[in-house]
């Protein structure tokens, strides 16, 4: 092995790399045994050791190599392997010839077809292939996103159909025949009222108005009952919410009854349930609407087990005002509930509640 020189063609007798190979670096070392670096006929490149040979190594011929060989380049290895195959150096007799992929006619035909491809000879072929791979990857990602959007769209369409079914069942929509025989959906008068309410519990509010549950309430009483549709306690209260005396308890109980019926219909139509009304803010907003001071309202609320900060009170009061203003605009001041809603909003819009309000 110490006699081998660059360009010598040798025979690797056994192993996965058996066959002819050309030495590209003798791998001489004064302190260790030689480890020649070779390139085989199938373009493999790497070092060999004495363990790869069962007999002394002899050069079978020579192949002319460039002065500097860059083995990390696939093209260089391919050119060296091609020169080795074209050198006409035969293996010694008696040696079993390893199956060579270059003898496979189908593989050779595929290689020739690959070389005939118009892109094969392009100077920037590898860069173009990377752009092709990127395009294919992005196309696959786009297709996946489109499938997700389509699934979401179908889900939204199903939800929309279920909502329309509930509204039609409750009289907010109705079918109207068209000339071509197809059924069209028409928004009823009650549906127009619902369409102008923007609240988490807008359908519950519309039901309460339509069924005259809030009819006959005073401005403070209406503010108290309406607050149950917007207020949501941060945690379960330690005590049962206190309600003002008079008409509020019955209006509150009727509102809860309608909510119970509505959630049952929503369950049947497989829709999200309307949030349960919460009476935790009814007593504070009722007292504020009657003109009491903020200090007295908060103190009384705390004594009743409903702790409120001044900031929380202002925030919830403004949400009650917003729903009252919607009722006023939708129903009109001439309506029994709309006119009271206007008065209730005015009674709440004072002091810290009105400060900084846009």
pLDDT tens, residue by residue, 305-335? 778 899 999 999 999 999 999 999 999 989 9
Q: Contact 122/128 with Cβ under 8 angstroms?
A: yes
C-alpha 163 chain-centroid distance:
25
> DSSP string of 92-111?
PTTPPPPP-GGG-HHHHHHH
* pLDDT tens digits, 243-295: 888 999 999 999 999 999 999 999 999 898 999 999 999 999 999 999 999 99
pLDDT bracket for residue 13 (50, 70, 90): confident
Is residue 109, in this structure, part of any structural domain at all?
no
As a whole number of angstroms, the distance between CA 352 and CA 311 comes to 9
* Domain C-terminal end among 101, 126, 144: 101
Residues 204 and 349 in one domain: yes
Residues 342 and 206 in one domain: yes
Q: Mean pLDDT, the chain, as a whole number?
A: 87
0.75 exceeded by pTM: no
SS3 state at 193: helix
Is residue 189, in this structure, part of any structural domain at all?
no
Residues 215 and 328 in one domain: yes
As a whole number of angstroms, the distance between CA 19 and CA 139 comes to 44
Residues 217 and 94 in one domain: no
Is residue 79, in this structure, part of any structural domain at all?
yes
pLDDT of residue 52: 84
Percent of residues, the chain, with pLDDT higher than 90 = 44
Counted domains in the chain: 2
Domain carrying residue 58? 8-101
**Beta strand spans in the chain (E):** 8-12, 19-25, 37-40, 45-47, 61-62, 173-177, 183-187
Is residue 123, in this structure, part of any structural domain at all?
no
Is residue 147, in this structure, part of any structural domain at all?
no
Q: Contact 294/350 with Cβ under 8 angstroms?
A: no
């Amino acid at each position: 092995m110490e006699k081998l020189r660059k360009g010598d063609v040798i025979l690797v007798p056994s192993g996965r790399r058996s066959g002819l190979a050309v030495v590209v670096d003798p791998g001489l070392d004064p302190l260790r045994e030689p480890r020649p670096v070779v390139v085989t006929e199938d373009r493999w490149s790497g070092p060999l050791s004495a363990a790869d040979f069962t007999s002394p190594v002899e050069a079978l011929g020579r192949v002319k190599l460039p002065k500097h060989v860059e083995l990390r380049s696939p093209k260089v290895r391919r050119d060296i392997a091609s020169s080795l195959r074209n050198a006409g150096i035969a293996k010694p007799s008696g040696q079993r010839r390893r199956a060579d992929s270059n003898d496979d006619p189908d593989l050779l035909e595929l290689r020739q077809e690959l070389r005939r491809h118009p892109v094969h000879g392009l100077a920037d072929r590898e860069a173009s292939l990377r752009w092709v791979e990127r395009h294919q990857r992005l196309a696959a990602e786009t297709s996946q996103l489109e499938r997700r959007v389509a699934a979401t769209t179908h889900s939204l369409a199903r939800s929309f159909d279920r909502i329309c079914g509930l509204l039609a069942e409750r009289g907010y929509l109705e079918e109207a025949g068209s000339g071509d025989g197809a059924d069209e959906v028409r928004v009823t008068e009650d549906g127009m009222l619902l369409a102008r309410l923007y609240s988490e519990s807008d359908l519950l509010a519309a039901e309460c108005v339509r069924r005259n549950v809030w009819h006959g309430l005073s401005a403070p009483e209406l503010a108290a009952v309406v607050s149950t549709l917007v207020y949501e306690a941060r945690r379960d209260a330690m005590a049962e919410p206190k309600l003002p005396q008079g008409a509020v308890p019955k209006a509150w109980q009727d509102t809860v009854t309608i909510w119970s019926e509505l959630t049952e219909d929503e369950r049947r139509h497989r829709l999200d349930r309307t949030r349960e009304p919460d009476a935790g803010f009814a007593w504070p907003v009722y007292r504020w609407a009657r003109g009491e001071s903020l200090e007295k309202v908060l103190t009384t609320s705390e004594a009743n087990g409903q702790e409120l900060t001044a900031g929380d009170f202002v925030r919830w009061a403004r949400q009650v005002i917003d729903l009252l203003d919607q009722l006023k605009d939708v129903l009109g001041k001439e309506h029994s509930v709309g006119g009271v809603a206007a008065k209730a909003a005015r009674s709440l819009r004072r002091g810290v509640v009105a400060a900084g309000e846009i």
